[in-house]
Amino acid sequence: MPKLVLASSSPYRKSLLERLQQPFECASPDIDETPQPGESAEQLTQRLAQAKARALRNQFSNHLIIGSDQVLQLDGEPVSKPLNHAAAVDQLTRSSGRTLTFSTALCVLNSTTGHEQTCIEPVHVTFRDLQAEEIERYLRQEQPYDCAGSFKSEGYGITLIARMQGDDPTSLIGLPLIRLRAMLAKEGLALP
């Protein structure tokens, strides 16, 4: 049976994968995540999830390599991690009172057979009408600068949301475990 490797340095994805109670390794794929001109959020996130898994193919033979990426579509543009306070304020201000789609792509690559499975799990998030002081308090407390959309639904960021709709709640955190379990089963790894 192939071993699992998570093509990510994200502590959030690592924590989610630990829920499946299977041994795995983590490795950073070191890819360029710059959006291509005209690329939609779905196209970008799928390309990046696949690129992350494929980047580790030669390094990890006889493995199931898991690549994942998340992007928010905001005002017609794909938006990823804000990386700093000013960009996070901008993202949350623009998200206020709106329903936005977070797209999380998942790719499972069997490095032994070359078989690759890819999917995109959308989650629709409706933000409350947010006041500037609420955004400041939230960002100062949680500092979600490494999270697409500038908030953590698994943390204090849940207070910014009016409603969420999607098939997999773990998708919003960055690794859709329901779909991942199904993909792993197709590769012969039955869970539980």
The residues annotated with a catalytic role in the active site are 69
Backbone dihedral angles phi then psi of residue 180, each to the nearest 5 degrees = -60, -45
Q: What is the DSSP letter of 131?
A: -
Give the type of residue at 140.
Answer: R
Residue 165 bridge partners (DSSP) = 124
Query: Exposed e or buried b for every residue in 101-128, given b needs 16+ CB within 10 A?
Result: bbbbbbbbbbbeeeebbbbbbbbebebe
- Of 153, 167, 173, residue with least CA distance to 17: 173
d(CA 122, CA 112): 29
